[in-house]
Amino acid sequence: MYSLTISLVLPLIFCQIYSCQISSIRLEPKFAILNATTSSTMKFLCSKKQDETLEFEISLSPNISKDDVEISVKYLDRTTVEINMQSFDYIGAFQLICTLKEKQNSIARSDILIGKSPGSLMRIKRCTVYNDEYIECTIMAPVMVQAMMNGLSNEIDFLELPFYSRPRIYRRNPKLVAIDSLNQTLTYRWYPEFVGYFPSKLKMNISATIQHFGTSTYRMDMTPIFEISSNFNVTNLTSTTFQIEFDHRKSSFLTTCRGNITKEQNFDSDEVETRMLGESNNTIIYANDLSPNTEYRLCFHCRREKQYETISSHICHRYKTAGSSSWFWLVNASVIIGCLILICIGILLWKKLNWSQVKRKFGRLSFEKKPEHIIITNANPSPLILPMITENEEEMMMNYLK
């Protein structure tokens, strides 16, 4: 008995503390479903229990543009209003709210669903593989896009059809990566079960459902086209060389790139010097014989092996070579001068060594001057014949031997 009394009294106490009041108005019907393809107009009645001077206030939650849903109010008597609602090809879920002005705790709501069957679904372009990591497919689905954006309960299921008795190719539950309200498309992303494996001619069954309004199905071809990156970076530059590294270096597929390098002497003039960089499948290439402290524009376009259909954009970047250093030229000049000095010293030492050997071998020498030669003789019966020299050279040689 006491517990029953407490259960009846406690709610009254809480209502007094928090000023809660039982709503004095009613809105009918409390739930409505409208098919956008047939009827887009519906009537509601909002009434209050007492004949008060307070006026009704009608609104929608969330707020919807009058271009999509229009509401008109007609007073039937002092306690009841008729609400006429008309939608203009709107699809979504929302609430119709009826309140009394200056009495916000008196409120009545009606849940409304406006929709239709998902209609036709269609892939609008080839499914595209990005970075050899995942594949994305874009599907045109106008009704589903509106349902998703406007809170109408919906669901899309994907069922991969068997592919030549092989196990599943793509992981379940693809990710919805984009909803394009302008083009009315949905883009989903699949990751392969086996890294880098994206076969042709695989089929995917799509089932799209909007609760209370029906289901549509579509069989999608997932034959891929590969988007490859032509992007690159200069990872090392000097005054005369660029080391160019491509972003596709991690790919297991053979990718070929070709491009050009343009020397831009003056951005305000049309004088440019362009050199072609031939096709290469290396991930790192070099541009040599460049001018120091000069800006160049590098452009490349890459493609995959012929058996793969690819799309790629033309990418250009600007880089500037390093300036030539005065220390660089000073060191080079010093090395050259040092080498010349060492050569001269070597020649002098070689001459001195040869003449010393001659002097030791022949001892006292006598010279007999001929028109073309000098004959050096001593006790040795074999004379030493030297080429003809000038008088000055002869005098220097005699002084040296003395």
Amino acid at 143: V
| Res 367 pLDDT > 70 | no
Cα(first)–Cα(last) distance of the chain, in Å? 148
CB 303 within 8 A of CB 228: yes
> pLDDT tens digit string along 73-99?
999 988 899 999 999 889 999 999 999
Average pLDDT, stretch 341-356? 74
Average pLDDT, the chain: 80
> What is the pLDDT averaged over residues 271-277?
78
- Classify each residue of 82-103 as buried b or exposed e, where b means 16 or more C-beta atoms within 10 Å of its C-beta: ebebebeebbbbbebbbbbeeb
Residue 109 has a pLDDT of: 94
* Confidence tier at 345 by pLDDT (50, 70, 90): confident
Whole-angstrom distance, CA of residue 136 vs CA of residue 128: 5
pLDDT on residue 15:
41
Cβ neighbours for 280, distance < 8 A, ≥ 6 positions apart:
256, 257, 258
pTM: 0.67
Residues ≥6 apart with Cβ < 8 Å to 102: 54
Q: Which residue has the higher pLDDT, 304 or 297?
A: 297
Q: Which of these ranges, 20-29, 118-127, 157-166, has the smallest mean pLDDT?
A: 20-29
In sequence order, what are the residues at sequence separation of 6 or more whose Cβ sits closer than 8 angstroms to the Cβ of residue 42? 32, 34, 84, 85, 112
Residue-level pLDDT at 47: 92
* 400 CB-near residues (< 8 Å, 6+ apart): 355
Name the packing angle between helices 326-362 and 391-401 (round to 10°): 70
SS3 content of the chain, % helix, strand, coil (to 5): 20, 45, 35
pLDDT-wise least confident of 165-169, 225-229, 358-362, 376-380: 376-380
Bond before 167 cis per omega within 30 degrees: no
**Beta strand segments in 265-323, E:** 272-280, 284-287, 295-304, 310-311, 315-320
Q: How far apart are CA 326 and CA 273, in angstroms?
A: 27
Residue with token string 């929302």: 94
Query: pLDDT by residue (tens digit) across 177-195?
Result: 999 999 999 999 999 999 8
Q: Rounded mean pLDDT of 11-38?
A: 67
Give tens-digit pLDDT for 154-178: 999 999 998 887 789 999 999 999 9
